[in-house]
């Protein structure tokens, strides 16, 4: 019995521009059932509005309040502490941080900066952290799938800064428990009666389990054979989100 369904986006609902077969219908089915659904992502290469537009174009109807992004969580974290972040983020989302004073930074935010992960920017982040600035990361994602390729994701660069400066990052997105708590709090479900569905055995599955939320790994997106053995704990493995929705509605 499930009282809320949490769905990761990329790799679960779609892969690049291709919708996972049956995903559209499955999401519609669960939405029509009245079960609360939340869409939860660490993606940080697109603005929130661009992401909502993209979901619409792919045929997923997602309400603004149903979408939880790590970028929003980062903004909230910085705002609550009145920090001036050095934002090592993708150029397409720079505008999402316009509200912050960014001169003379006293914090470091790492999101998926893609080509802007260069020595100069990484070194600046490192130097600030070595001098005591808190390090904030959207996620610990190791890699993501883009077309046929696996591409290094933000977690690897956060690890680099952590190691060089001898600090530990605060992760505002998945697998952070706080992030899962925020999403669950927006529903009436108890964590143990929700279900998180993702293709990332660490960020989605392990993170959810640590937050007390049952999880389901899909064999789409970045999933690679044997991924389920890389994380301890009880969780289900299914072919795709179609099967996960069946489980949730069963």
Cβ nearer to a second copy, comparing 60 with 202? 202
Output the smallest distance, CB 100 to a second copy, in A: 24
By CB under 8 A, name the one of 15, 96, 153, 200 that touches a second copy: 153
Cβ nearer to a second copy, comparing 39 with 117? 117
Instruction: Report the C-alpha gap between 7 and 27 in whole angstroms.
Output: 9
Tokens of 161: 């800064």
Tokens of 91: 């150029």
Contact status: 164 vs a second copy (CB under 8 A): yes
Cβ nearer to a second copy, comparing 10 with 66? 10
Contact status: 235 vs a second copy (CB under 8 A): no
Cβ nearer to a second copy, comparing 28 with 159? 159
Q: What's the longest Cα–Cα distance across the chain?
A: 54
112-141 residues in contact with a second copy (CB under 8 A) are 114-120, 122-123, 126-127, 130
DSSP classification of residue 146 = E
Count the Cβ atoms, other than its own, within 10 Å of residue 136: 23
Contact status: 39 vs a second copy (CB under 8 A): no
CA-nearest of 137, 211, 208 to 167 is 137
Collect all residues with Cβ–Cβ distance below 8 Å to 215 and sequence separation of at least 6: 195, 196, 197, 198, 204, 205, 206, 208, 209, 235, 236
Output the smallest distance, CB 142 to a second copy, in A: 5
- Contacts to a second copy by CB under 8 A: 114-120, 122-123, 126-127, 130, 142-143, 149-153, 155-157, 159-161, 163-166, 230
């Amino acid at each position: 019995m499930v009282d809320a369904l949490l769905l990761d986006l990329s790799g679960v609902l779609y892969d690049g521009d291709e919708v996972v077969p049956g995903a559209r219908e499955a999401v519609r089915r669960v939405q029509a059932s009245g079960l609360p659904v939340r869409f939860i992502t660490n993606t940080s290469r697109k603005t929130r509005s661009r992401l909502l537009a993209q979901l619409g174009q792919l045929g997923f109807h997602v309400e603004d309040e149903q979408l939880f992004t790590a970028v929003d969580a980062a903004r909230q974290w910085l705002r609550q502490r009145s920090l001036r972040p050095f934002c090592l983020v993708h150029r397409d989302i720079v505008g999402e941080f316009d509200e912050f004073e960014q001169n003379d930074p006293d914090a470091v935010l790492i999101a998926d900066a893609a080509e802007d992960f260069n020595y100069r920017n990484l070194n600046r982040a490192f130097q600030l952290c070595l001098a005591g600035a808190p390090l904030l990361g959207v996620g610990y994602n190791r890699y993501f799938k883009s077309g046929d390729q696996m591409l290094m994701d933000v977690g690897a660069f956060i690890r680099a800064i952590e190691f060089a400066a001898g600090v530990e990052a605060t992760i505002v997105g998945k697998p952070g428990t706080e992030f899962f708590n925020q999403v669950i709090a927006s529903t009436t479900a108890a964590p143990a009666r929700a279900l998180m569905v993702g293709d990332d055995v660490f960020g989605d599955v392990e993170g959810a389990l640590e937050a007390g939320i049952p999880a389901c790994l899909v064999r789409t997106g970045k999933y690679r054979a044997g991924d389920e053995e890389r994380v301890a704990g009880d969780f289900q493995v299914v072919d795709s989100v179609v099967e996960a929705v069946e489980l949730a509605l069963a």
